[in-house]
Amino acid sequence: MQRTSTRNIVKAMVGNHAVAYAVMQAKPQVLAVYPITPQTTMLEKLSEYVDSGKLKARMIRVESEHSAMASIYGAALAGARVFTATASQGLLYMTEMIYWAGGQRVPIVAAVATRAIASPWSILDDHQDFVSKRDAIWIQMMAENVQEAYDLTLQAFRISENPNVLLPVMMGFDGFILTHTMERVEVLPDDVVDSFLPPREFNLIDFSDPVGIGPVATPDDYIFFRHQAQKAMERAKAVIDQVGREFEELAGRGYGSTECYLCDDAEYLVVSMGAWTGDARVAVDRVREKGIRAGLLKIRAFRPFPKEVVRNVVRKARGVMVLDRAVSYGSGGVLGIEVKSASYGLDVPIHDVIGGLGGKDVRPMHVEKALEDLAVGALEEERWLL
């Protein structure tokens, strides 16, 4: 279990402020953020840090999310550590530049306060925005609670800037459920963060050796670059776990692509990602009391998807249910698709449990019921928690 490092300082913070605090400690030189619910209070906190001089950085108050991603992309090319944050429509609006930054494999960290996508309008949480960026050549990680949102933000800079990786990183955390909920957070002292995040070494603007960045690629070069990106994603798996272990040395809190709860002897497995993993953990405890050997596999890295780990955990189960807060309409739950793909050829039934869309409340009892049904063969292939 987790141990508390004596280095930690205990605070009470809402998710948006915890991420802003981590960003301040990471010392980026250029930020560009456009307001959108439920991210806005993070932008406000960062603006306070910049205006008060606590964070010596340029905050570019852009006129759109498209320009937010574009401007930090430009800054990242010229050697700055950079950050932005958004959600939902904003994430969609900056999508062109998300792909652009991913294609150039420039170190960037972006936080996504996950939120449903219109229409119809909803400002409440689901994961549809976050998962829609799965093919954009970005590492994507998702936090379970405010502590993880803080910790993963720091780790994101390390992972992104690792010379064996050089990929932008998106850190997702559930809108309102985490962004606006105050939790106990252990933060690291500034000097410890400094040792974890040395100044960035990456620059493409060299006047003595001018290059063209992102020109027309010949077909041979284009597919070569894309293959390199896929290889970098594969290398990132080990780096994510390594950075997670190094972080544990400093903070006493271990990280990595996945986290297992009572997986070892689990016959029935819940797979989940994000804040409702806490509800799933409670549900696992409850059904265990009723004699169902349940376990929980939490996905922290959505890209690169830890398919080897997933496969090895699923292999041992008699039945699996995947909690999904995002849907690929006409196919199924998005995380479910990933788990099924990773489990190809295994003789284990995998069910989708889709819920929480547009902020629809999901409680431990919903997961508990689904697990009980799974254990007696009564869970549908796809269940919607309406």
Partner 1 sequence: MMLMRGNAACPGCPIPRELDALLEVTGEKTVLVVPASCSTVIMGDSRGMPSRVPVVHSAFAASPAIASGLKSALEARGEKATVVVWAGDGGTGDIGFASLSGAAERNEDILYVCYDNEAYMNTGIQRSGLTPFGAWTTTTPSGKREWKKPVPQLIAEHGVPYVATASIAYLFDYQAKVRKAKDITGFRYIHLLSPCPPGWRHDSSLTVEVAKLAVETGIWPLYEIERGKFRLTSISKTLTDKKKRKPVTEYLKLQGRFANLTQEQIKEIQDEVDRMWDEFSKLEG
What tokens were used for 286? 């409850």
Shortest Å distance, C-beta 235 to partner 1: 23
Query: Nearest to residue 350, comparing CAs of 311, 386, 385?
Result: 311
Q: Which is nearer to partner 1, 82 or 154 (CB)?
A: 82
Query: Which DSSP symbol is given to 199?
Result: P
134 binds partner 1 (CB under 8 A): no
The stretch among 14-22, 77-85, 257-265, 377-385 that binds partner 1 (CB under 8 A) is 77-85
Shortest Å distance, C-beta 169 to partner 1: 18
Shortest Å distance, C-beta 308 to partner 1: 33
182 binds partner 1 (CB under 8 A): no
One residue of 14, 26, 32, 296 binding partner 1 per CB under 8 A: 32
Shortest Å distance, C-beta 205 to partner 1: 5
User: DSSP readout, 265-276?
Assistant: T-SEEEEE-STT
R_g (Cα) of the chain, nearest Å: 20
Query: Which DSSP symbol is given to 202?
Result: -
Q: Which is nearer to partner 1, 52 or 218 (CB)?
A: 218
Strands 109-114 and 169-174: parallel
One residue of 182, 205, 238, 365 binding partner 1 per CB under 8 A: 205
User: DSSP readout, 341-381?
Assistant: HHTTT----EEEEE--GGG----HHHHHHHHHHHHTT---S
Shortest Å distance, C-beta 258 to partner 1: 34
135 binds partner 1 (CB under 8 A): no
221 binds partner 1 (CB under 8 A): yes
166 binds partner 1 (CB under 8 A): no
27 binds partner 1 (CB under 8 A): no
One residue of 5, 40, 47, 67 binding partner 1 per CB under 8 A: 67
Q: 44 to each of 199, 209, 339, how far by Cα in Å? A: 25, 39, 38
One residue of 3, 51, 54, 64 binding partner 1 per CB under 8 A: 64
Q: Which is nearer to partner 1, 201 or 347 (CB)?
A: 201
Strands 268-272 and 319-324: parallel
Rounded Cα gap, residues 140 and 257, in angstroms: 10
145 binds partner 1 (CB under 8 A): no
Rounded Cα gap, residues 270 and 281, in angstroms: 9
Q: Which residues, 6 or more positions from 287, have their beta carbon under 8 angstroms from its beta carbon?
A: 268, 294, 368, 371, 372, 375
Of residues 85-104, which lie at the interface with partner 1 (CB under 8 A)?
96-97, 100
Shortest Å distance, C-beta 201 to partner 1: 12
Query: Nearest to residue 38, comparing CAs of 89, 2, 4, 79?
Result: 89
One residue of 29, 39, 147, 162 binding partner 1 per CB under 8 A: 29
Give residues in contact with partner 1 (CB under 8 A).
Answer: 29-30, 32, 58, 60-64, 66-68, 70-80, 82, 96-97, 100, 203-207, 210-218, 221-222
